[in-house]
Chain A
Amino acid sequence: MKEDLNLLEQAAHNDYKYGFVTNIDTDTIPKGLSEAVIELISKKKNEPEWMLKWRLKAYAHWLKMEEPTWPNVKYPPINYQDIIYYAAPKKKEQLNSLDEVDPELLRTFEKLGISLDEQKRLSGVAVDVVMDSVSIATSFKEQLSEIGVIFCSISEAIQQHPELVKKYLGSVVPMTDNYFSALNSAVFTDGSFCYIPKGVRCPMELSTYFRINAENSGQFERTLIIAEDESYVSYLEGCTAPMRDENQLHAAVVELVAMEKAEIKYSTVQNWYPGDKNGQGGIYNFVTKRGICAGNHSKISWTQVETGSAITWKYPSVILKGDYSIGEFYSVAFTNHHQQADTGTKMIHLGKNTRSRIVAKGISAGQSNNSYRGLVRASKQATNARNYSQCDSLLLGDQCGAHTFPYIEVKNKTAIVEHEATTSKIGEDQLFYCRQRGIDAEAAVALIVNGFAKEVMNQLPMEFAIEAQKLLAISMEGSVG
């Protein structure tokens, strides 16, 4: 066991590898939040009048709300007047090729090991890079527009496709939904917009890399994905952020709409700065993600690998409105040092013959706390609704916590809901078995943890699975090779 302790010790001393600050001139506005600030953001982004009204309405509502205190996380009170709500890189001209991108930015991506260049060549992934809050480079756009797929920043969509934005923005996550969605609705600066027309199967994985860059700038991303009848899209989202001391708030909103027979697959790899080993700094990741299976036979699948952030607090949810619709949630949440995660999902069964599946794996190490919180609701109309949930927790170390809070609400007599949860540490017999066969302790722990998370990792698209495994490995370094 002494060796294991050493491994865990090493893991605990593992520092964040992606901590660096890119020096790009940013165009920021002063700290604080007021109607004037919102007007300024709207003006800087050259938004139409209706958008500004929408923002102000959300702000007025936000003022009336109170910050929720129910999650199983602790953090000092956030001073919302101490946040810069807008930071855009100064060079804003449209770029057509990578040559036009700021070389400093390109170097950032090289440090991350994900050069745009390489990604474009090797994997055919269209990358919409969000550096701070404004899109800088967009690739494969022309190829996508040929088949009618709209993939652009949300600011661009507001300018060019106002009818779509007007129709769907806030339709899944209303501005009044919760404290952070209201805040996001008031001050969101950018994000992605994606529209897949009827019958189109998007030929490539769409991906966005979010990075928080300017000091003290909160990120308020807004993502909206609409899949029309019989369409398919797989969307990837991944994050890394530079090291810094002050906590940063990230309150994004993601909305998915799947019409009849449409399928949306949304994958996330989240590796924001988790704070140092004493719990100093790190990102607050308070995100509202929700999809609606609006049409019959539609499907929404969330997959997430959460290794970063000081606090992760999010519940990617699916409203199963259409008959025969399917919701899926696959999650691996790894917490180390003083990280806190309160994450899970909500599956709201409204339509007939709807199905949902939840697989959540939590791994806690160091002094961290990892909670699964989920809701499965079968409403009165949800005849033959079916759910299966499984949450497993693995504890690495004796100072961490693993918690499970599932809510099950059934009001239909034909519904079948099952929930299972287990909590344990890595079995000494499992380790012994591996060691006996000549696998060293470090590799054995890696093997067991990989096996533990495999069911979820398998759900990630190929291009992403590799990166996800890399991130999980880095987070666990010391205990995993």
Chain B
Amino acid sequence: MTNVNYFKDQFSALQTSDPNELLTGIRKENFDTFSRSGLPTLRQEEWKYTNISSLFDKDYEFAADQEISPYLLSSLEEIRINGHQNANELVFLNGRYSPSLSAVRSPESQLVVLPLEEAIDSKYKALVAMHLGQSSSYIKDGIHALNTSFIHGGLFLYIPKGQQLLHPVYIYHLSDAGQQHTLSQPRSLIYVEAQAKFQLAETYKTLGTCESFTNEVMEIVVEADAFVEYYKIQNDGPNAHQTNTTHIRQMEKSHVHTVVLSLNGGMVRNNLNLVMDARGNETHLYGLSLLRGKTHVDNHTMIDNKMPDCYSNQLYKSVADDASTSIFSGRIIVQPDAQKTNAYQSSKNILLSEQASINAKPQLEIFADDVKCSHGCTVGQLDEEALYYLRARGIPKEKAEVLLLHAFAADIVDQIKLEPLQKYTEKLIYEHLTVS
């Protein structure tokens, strides 16, 4: 890797320019981790199928602060999700939260939106200190540490107790790779108080033709009886790579529902961690990757059941065409105290081309006896008989295939409970499948 010295310089510059007491400590610790372990390689078990360090043959740099230009605004317009008029729209520009591009539509009594640094100087300081960086104890690799070493310009969201948020939160990530290979490192901390309800969707867009690398970390704390829906739409250019970690901590009887949709992109790695820190939680994780070209999508999920009576269900589906690669690695841990855990996991994959490949690694690690856990995984093709049925009714082969792929995807799209977003993804998928 050529950028080591660059990161060193940038790190010391950041530590001097932003001497926040809380952040400098966290950064220092993680920069040490990064310096020690470097970027993950294929030799690391968790990175067996995704060669992230190969991307760093190129020299990535952080983008300088930018003026808001008409170009930026028009680009933003392109990725706005349906129903945005009724949503809180938050924008990250090159990995830093941009209040001026963002529009908060909920009243402060329902949603508190603050730049992370400001949150540290506010009454939320204790909350931030307690929860920022929790994911580091689960993910100890260099790329995660790299994000944490450069926490700056992050986002803090707070949903007060009992608030049923009417307006969803849409987060748009813009990376400008017009002049240079750009590294963006968005960081956010979201705290959902007891009995609150919160819906969140995220999407990404790279501008320009150089390579962009987004290395995102988001931490969400879901308090007792709260309800969180989380959606991620990845439909960026082949020059857009990313690793992102979503680390969710669930307290008593909370409910989390996630859908990750990956269509286009370069090399993409998604880590989704759920930590059951209290009993009685319910969690549903869904994923859909419809890949073509050279897109490489690696979905890692981890559910750490530390306490009893939790229920989790996972369904990840993928279709790999052309020279694309789809990876699913799901890990369910049931700790000795987590009796009466029910955890289910299923991964269904379709391979459409000679050059494509699918790798799956569903894992169960169980230390309690009174549990019901299962996983299933299949890799196959489109059903010959179903194709025959359609063709016998005069539907051309290509159309019949698209129809079947739609049906395959529908299971997951149906899980998007936010209606405008569901319509939006249906449209994206339709375009994605018919343009070939």
Contact = CB atoms under 8 A, between A and B. Distances in A.
Contact of A417 (B362, B367, B379): B379
Contact of B354 (A395, A403, A413, A425): A413
A412 B369 contact: no
B346 to A, nearest CB: 10
Interface string B345-356: 000010111101
Interface stretch (B57-65, B106-114, B145-153, B370-378): B370-378
Interface in A414-456: 414-425
A412 B354 CA distance: 6
B362 A419 contact: yes
Given A70-B45, A410-B357, A417-B379, A404 B370 contact: no
Interface in A380-419: 380, 393, 395-419
B357 A398 contact: no
A423 B334 CA distance: 11
Contact of A423 (B45, B356, B371, B381): B371
A416 B381 contact: yes
A417 B364 contact: no
Contacts of A407: 359-361
A380 B354 contact: yes
Contact of A409 (B357, B372, B375): B357
A227 to B, nearest CB: 31
Contacts of B357: 409-411
Given A413-B353, A413-B381, A406 B371 contact: no
A419 B369 CA distance: 22
30 contacts: A70-B45, A395-B368, A395-B369, A396-B369, A398-B339, A400-B369, A401-B366, A402-B364, A402-B366, A406-B363, A406-B377, A407-B359, A408-B361, A409-B357, A409-B359, A413-B351, A413-B352, A415-B351, A415-B380, A417-B377, A417-B379, A418-B379, A418-B380, A421-B362, A421-B375, A423-B366, A423-B371, A424-B373, A425-B369, A425-B370
B414 interface: no
Contacts of A397: 369
Contacts of A414: 381
Contacts of B358: 408-410
Which has the most chain A C-beta neighbours within 10 Å: B354, B364, B368? B364
B369 A398 contact: yes
B376 A421 contact: yes
B336 interface: yes
A406 B360 CA distance: 8
Nearest to B326: A410
Contacts of B374: 420-423
Interface in A85-111: none
A9 B365 CA distance: 24
Interface of A: 70, 378, 380, 393, 395-425
A396 B369 CA distance: 7
A403 B365 CA distance: 4
A408 B372 CA distance: 23
A408 B360 contact: yes
Nearest to A402: B366
A479 to B, nearest CB: 14
Interface of B: 45, 336, 339, 349, 351-354, 356-381
Contact of B359 (A395, A403, A410, A413): A410
A476 to B, nearest CB: 16
A423 B336 contact: no
Contacts of B371: 395, 423-425
Contacts, number: 114
A404 B363 CA distance: 5
A401 B366 CA distance: 5
Nearest to B377: A419
Nearest to A420: B376
Contacts of B379: 378, 408, 410, 415-418
Contacts of B372: 422-424
B44 to A, nearest CB: 11
Contact of B363 (A399, A405, A415, A420): A405
Contacts of A421: 362, 364, 374-376
A417 B378 CA distance: 5
A401 B298 CA distance: 28
Contacts of B359: 407-410
A422 B346 CA distance: 12
Nearest to B337: A398
B173 to A, nearest CB: 31
Contacts of A422: 372-374
B351 A410 contact: yes
Contact of B362 (A406, A409, A412): A406
Given A400-B369, A408-B359, 13 more contacts: A393-B366, A395-B371, A397-B369, A398-B369, A403-B366, A404-B362, A408-B358, A409-B357, A409-B358, A411-B356, A415-B379, A416-B379, A418-B377
A305 B286 CA distance: 38
A409 B358 CA distance: 6
Contacts of A399: 336
A423 B354 CA distance: 35
Contacts of B45: 70
A316 B364 CA distance: 21
B375 A417 contact: no
A174 B272 CA distance: 39
A409 B362 CA distance: 12
A413 B357 CA distance: 8
Contacts of B339: 398
B305 to A, nearest CB: 12
Contacts of A411: 356-357
Contacts of A424: 371-373
A411 B376 CA distance: 19
User: What 7 pairs across the A-B complex have the smallest Cβ distances?
Assistant: A395-B369, A408-B360, A419-B377, A417-B379, A404-B364, A411-B357, A422-B374
Contacts of B353: 413
A396 B370 CA distance: 10
Contacts of B377: 406, 408, 417-420
B294 to A, nearest CB: 15
A371 B359 CA distance: 20
Contacts of A393: 364, 366
Contacts of A400: 367, 369
A378 B331 CA distance: 23
B123 to A, nearest CB: 44
Contact of A401 (B352, B360, B363, B367): B367
Given A398-B339, A402-B364, A410-B359, A417 B380 contact: yes
Nearest to B333: A403
Contacts of B354: 380, 412-413
B15 to A, nearest CB: 35
A179 B352 CA distance: 38
Given A398-B370, A425-B369, A425-B370, A404 B375 contact: yes
A399 B351 CA distance: 41
A469 B254 CA distance: 47
B103 to A, nearest CB: 45
Nearest to A400: B369
Contacts of B351: 410, 412-413, 415
Contacts of A70: 45
A409 B320 CA distance: 13
A399 to B, nearest CB: 7
Contacts of A396: 369
Contacts of B373: 422-424
Nearest to B356: A413
A413 B363 CA distance: 24
A70 B45 CA distance: 9
A397 B369 CA distance: 6
A383 to B, nearest CB: 10
Nearest to B353: A413
